[in-house]
Amino acid sequence: MLSRRSIRRSFLIQLIFASASLIFIFSSLLYFYIERSILEEKHEELLSYAENIANNESLYGQDAISPDIYLGVSVEVVHLKRIKQSDDFYESSKDQKTYLTIVYPFDLNEFSYLKITKEITISKLLLNKIRHYIFIINIAGFLLVIIYAIGLSKMLVSPVKTLSRKLSNMNEHLMNPIIIEELPEEFEPLGETINHLIARIQNFVKYQKELFIGTAHELKTPLAVIKLKNQVTLIKKRSAEEYIEALNITNKTIDEMNIVVSNILNIGRQEGAQLEKPTEVDVIAVLSKKANDFKLLAESEGKTLDISFEPSGFMAILQVGLLNQIVQNFLQNALKFTPQNKTVILRSSQNSYGLLIEVIDEGCGIDESVDFFAPFKRQGNKPGVGLGLFLAKSAADALGANMSIKNRTDGVSGVVASLNLNSKLSCILPTATKSS
């Protein structure tokens, strides 16, 4: 049985009710049209008889083809107490027979009228048969509608069942994307959304595995260094200065391990940030605030942060914490790899997809064949554990935004880090007009 919350149940009820109503209305109109046509034909016959008698003093008109059509007709003259200007038709029944009668003016001076009666039992029986047949057709049509509705509802929910069956057979080791071309056109957006989710899960599983392996490697190496250094130190008695130097090296190694642990904790914090309630914010205002914070940092390092925002305002519904994390990572990397007296550009522009945010540096560039979004991927000799872009990419996926890291193509060495927010959840702020 279908539950009350079943959309298929609601569809069946509505389709059956609408179809039954349409069948009832159509059949009723058809029957009333047939009945009226037949009765009007009988009225015309009686009126023709009355006119023939009144004008020709004969029941047979000049155009009569056969007198057989006048069988079952009775004519009599009646006298009324008052004058009736209009014709009067009425039906009557007697001995299970039906009669149609017309009272037609004959001689108004004598208040005499023609009363012509004709048996229409056969016509009434024909109408009853027609009504009976229409009722049978309605029952058959209603049953066909039920069968059709059940079949149509099954056809409509079939793609959903197919998707459900494919998804139920998937696990973290075997996840194949949905073939969009095999779905009905109306279900293509759902298939694309599922494929996007599958891709995110695949990346998550892939990066989680790399994260576990990388974490074990990053922690195992300094632990091995600490152990080896302690073993060497304990081989023979040393001076206090040598013990202090060994402890300093151990502390430095422990600090490096703390950085790794802190970044791993940030991954857990980010998962919580993805559950943060989205709010409507002006993205340009968020970028301006973040730019002001890094402008002072850039000046202290002898670098320049150039800012250019278009449009002047852009409203979006998103988690501000995730957006801040992405922009902060972009700016930190750009300032880290940009030499002194060089410029880092933070700019925004609108395109067909939405709002494009770009951070452009003048660093050494990257090897684009390397997946820098994977955990513990690093380039160059700058400090870091390689988790920043991994966290930024996870945040971008949570925002439903596109993120990319590419080399500059304007002839200058450096990297362009871009984040493209989807305009489907965004709108441009109205620009205030200046009063003249």
pLDDT in tens, the chain (436 residues): 566 667 777 878 888 888 888 888 998 999 899 988 988 888 888 888 888 877 765 555 445 444 444 556 888 888 776 666 556 788 888 888 888 888 888 776 777 888 888 888 888 888 899 989 999 998 988 888 888 888 888 887 787 777 787 777 776 666 777 787 777 777 788 888 888 888 877 777 776 776 676 666 667 767 777 787 778 777 877 788 877 888 888 887 787 777 667 666 666 655 555 556 788 889 999 999 988 888 888 888 899 999 999 888 888 888 888 888 889 889 988 888 899 899 999 999 988 888 999 999 998 888 877 777 766 666 655 555 567 787 788 888 878 888 999 998 888 889 999 999 887 665 555 555 444 3
Residue 113 burial (CB count, 10 A):
24
Residue with tokens 């550009």: 345
What pLDDT, on the 0 to 100 scale, is given for residue 176? 76
Cα–Cα distance between 429 and 311 in angstroms, integer?
9
- Angle between helix axes 121-168 and 188-235 (nearest 10 degrees) is 10
In the chain, where the domains are located: 7-74+118-144, 191-274, 279-428
What pLDDT, on the 0 to 100 scale, is given for residue 417? 92
Nearest to 310 by CA among 288, 277, 281: 288
DSSP tally for the chain: helices H, then strands E:
7, 12
Quickly name the fold that domain 279-428 has: Heat Shock Protein 90 (3.30.565)
Residue with tokens 């998707």: 163
Query: Radius of gyration over alpha carbons of the chain, in Å?
Result: 45
Nearest to 133 by CA among 42, 38, 30, 33: 30
Q: What is the CATH number of domain 191-274?
A: 1.10.287
Bridge partner list, 307:
346
What pLDDT, on the 0 to 100 scale, is given for residue 378? 61
Nearest to 115 by CA among 154, 76, 146: 76
Burial label for 100, CB within 10 Å (0-12, 13-18, 19+), is buried
Residue 29 burial (CB count, 10 A):
10
CB 320 within 8 A of CB 348: no
